[in-house]
Amino acid sequence: MNNPFTSTESVKSALSGQKYIPSDELATIVYLAQQLGKPLLTEGPAGVGKTELAKAIAGATGRELIRLQCYEGLDESKALYEWEYSKQLLYTQLLRDKLNDTLGQAASLSEAADRLAREEDVFFSNRFLLQRPLLRAIQCDQPTVLLIEEIDRADAEFEAFLREVLSDFQVSIPELGTLAAKHKPFVVLTSNNTRELSEALKRRCLYLFIDYPTLEAELAVVRLKVPDLNPKLARQAVEFVQRLRTTEMRKSPSISETLDWANALVALNAKNIDKEILDETMSVLLKHEADLQKAKRQLMSPPPPSRPRPDDFGRFSGN
């Protein structure tokens, strides 16, 4: 397996090859995570490309991406494995004749039970094991990228269970024994910070905070993903979105929404961002009525004097 992640620079170029524009910081931390074999915990507002990052890593390394979406009430049988009862039942029905053959010759009840016990393994084998994402990531013959999304939505008990998987990369199935990973998967966890994760889980991960991008970075993303939009319009659009983010909103527009909007502008063949176009397309960007009203009010007022743009790292110190 060739690994394109041999240095920070190569991580950067490999991710860029997947149409993902990484900051220096992101590339360094991704490189560290893969060198140390640690899960990567990414946090940040919704829609800044946390999931995209995992996809890009999978694409860049040529690994399969296995996704596990967390939700309240997610448990081991949904995340790890489950015995396929109905299939087992079906098999016993269909194999009834064979079973009769095997058991029929038994002289006594205990002998029959012994014979049955000898065949037990047939029914508790990989054949009847329904692999869920975690087990699949561990059992896969090729190294994989395991994406565990929105871990903050899962219950605390599930988080505790996950810790075992993430630190040792092995799971115990009572009927089969302990299954260790053939290849350590590259694990990416995402969290929207809706609740505090446990210290123990955080301790096992490297931490990456992805914030809204700077104007230039976002412009680069738009240019890359929506190449049809003319450059002047793209800059105007991104500047507008950045301005929206500085105001208090119930939900600030994310990068994915900027991209949707850019696509909408292309589709409508917009020449300029004027009031008319905005009225028509703003709902792509803002998803709450109150936010829409606010943005429209703000549009009427002149733009604020241009403020100095924070540098690459300055933006973290602000919040």
89 binds other proteins (CB under 8 A): yes
Name the residue nearer to other proteins (CB basis): 40 or 226.
40
Q: Are strands 170-173 and 144-149 parallel, antiparallel or unpaired?
A: unpaired
155 binds other proteins (CB under 8 A): yes
How many residues bind to other proteins according to rule CB under 8 A?
A: 35
Residue of 202, 223, 235, 251 that binds other proteins (CB under 8 A) = 202
Name the residue nearer to other proteins (CB basis): 136 or 204.
204
Task: Write the CA distances from 95 to 90, 99, 100, 225, integer angstroms.
Answer: 8, 6, 9, 56
Residue of 4, 17, 85, 276 that binds other proteins (CB under 8 A) = 85
**Rounded least distance, CB 90 to other proteins, Å:** 10
At 279, the amino acid letter reads D
The CB-side HSE value for 299 (13 A sphere, CA atoms) comes to 17
DSSP 40: E
Where are any strands of DSSP class E within 101-160? Answer: 129-131, 144-149
Where are any strands of DSSP class E within 215-295? Answer: none
- Annotate each residue in 102-131 with x if it binds other proteins (CB under 8 A) or - if it does not, as one string: ------------------------------
Contact range with other proteins by CB under 8 A, out of 36-44, 113-121, 127-135, 283-291: 36-44
Residue of 205, 226, 238, 264 that binds other proteins (CB under 8 A) = 205
Cα angle 178, 182, 185; round to 5: 105
97 binds other proteins (CB under 8 A): no
Judged by CB under 8 A, the chain residues 206 through 245 that form the site for other proteins are 206-209
Q: Alpha-carbon Rg of the chain, whole angstroms?
A: 26
**Treating both helix axes as pointing N-terminal to C-terminal, what angle do 24-36 and 50-61 enclose, rounded to 10 degrees?**
60
Cβ pair 206, 33 in contact under 8 A: yes
Residues that bind other proteins (CB under 8 A): 8, 24-25, 28-29, 32-33, 35-36, 38, 41, 43, 85-86, 89, 155-157, 193-194, 196, 198-199, 202-209, 313, 316-317, 319
